[in-house]
Chains A and B, each alone.
Chain A
Amino acid sequence: MAGKRKLVLDPSWCKGCGICVAFCPKQALELEEEKVRLKADNECVLCGLCEARCPDYAIWLEDLEE
Chain B
Amino acid sequence: MPSELIHKFMRIDHLPHIWCAGCGNGIIMRDVAVALQELIDDPEVNLNRGKVVVVSGIGCSSRAAGYMDFDSIHTTHGRAIAFATGIKIAHPELEVIVLTGDGDCSAIGGNHLIHAARRNIGLTVVTFNNDIYGMTGGQYSPTTPTGDLGTTAPYGNIDRPFDIAQLAAGAGATFTARGSAYHVRETTELIRQGIMHKGFSLIDVYSVCPTYYGRKNHKGGAVEMLQWQKENMIPAARYYAMSEEEKQGKLLIGTLTHTNFPEYTAQYAKLIERAQAKAKKGE
Name B23-47 residues within 8 Å CB distance of A: 23-27, 30
In angstroms, Cα B90 to Cα A10, docked, is 42
Residue of A nearest to B7 (CB): A57
Taking residues whose C-beta sits less than 8 angstroms from the other chain, chain B's interface range is 20 to 34
A-B complex: 7 closest residue pairs judged by Cβ atoms: A55-B26, A17-B22, A15-B21, A60-B3, A22-B223, A52-B184, A17-B21
Query: Is the C-beta of B83 less than 8 angstroms from some C-beta in chain A?
Result: no
CB-nearest residue of chain B relative to A63? B4
User: Given known contacts A13-B15, A15-B21, A17-B22, is B27 in contact with A55 (CB within 8 Å)?
Assistant: yes
Q: Are B222 and A56 in contact (CB-based, < 8 A)?
A: no
A16 to B2, CA, bound (A): 17
Task: Find the A residue at minimum CB distance from B2.
Answer: A57
Complex CA–CA separation, A23 to B185 (angstroms): 14
Q: Is the CB of B3 within 8 A of A51?
A: yes
Q: Mark A12-40, 1 if CB is under 8 A from B, else 0.
A: 01011111001100000000000000000
Q: Are B22 and A55 in contact (CB under 8 A)?
A: yes
User: Are the CB atoms of A15 and B3 closer together than 8 Å?
Assistant: no
Residues of B within 8 A of A49 (CB): 184
Q: Kindly state whether residue A62 has any CB partner on chain B within 8 Å.
A: yes
Most buried by B among A18, A55, A57, A60: A55
Contact in complex: A13, B223 (CB < 8 Å): no
Verify if B146 is at the interface (C-beta below 8 Å from A): no
Verify A57–B221 contact, CB threshold 8 A. no
Can you name 14 A-B pairs with beta carbons within 8 Å? Answer: A15-B22, A17-B223, A19-B226, A22-B227, A23-B226, A49-B184, A51-B3, A53-B182, A53-B184, A55-B181, A55-B222, A56-B26, A57-B15, A58-B2
Q: With an 8 A cutoff between CB atoms, is A54 at the interface?
A: yes
Taking CB atoms, residues of chain A closer than 8 Å to B27 are: 52-55
Indicate if the CB atoms of A62 and B3 lie closer than 8 Å: yes
Q: Tell me the complex Cα distance, A15–B2, Å.
A: 15
Q: Given contact pairs A55-B25, A57-B15, A57-B30, enumerate 9 new A-B contacts (beta carbons under 8 Å).
A: A17-B22, A17-B221, A17-B223, A19-B223, A19-B226, A23-B223, A52-B184, A55-B181, A60-B6
- Give complex CA distance A13, B12 in Å: 11
The answer for the CA separation of A58 and B3 in the assembled complex, in Å, is: 9
Q: Which residues of A contact B222 (CB under 8 A)?
A: 17-19, 55
B6 engages A57 (CB within 8 Å): yes
- Closest residue on chain A to residue B6 by CB atoms: A57
Chain A residues near B16: list those with CB within 8 A.
13, 15, 56-58
Q: For residues 42 through 90 of chain B, which have their beta carbon under 8 Å from a beta carbon of chain A?
A: none
Instruction: Check if B17 is an interface residue, CB within 8 A of chain A.
Output: yes
Q: Which of A16, A51, A55 contacts B19 (CB 8 A)?
A: A55
- The smallest C-beta distance from A2 to any residue of chain B, in angstroms, reads 13
Contacts of A15 in B (CB 8 A): 16, 20-22
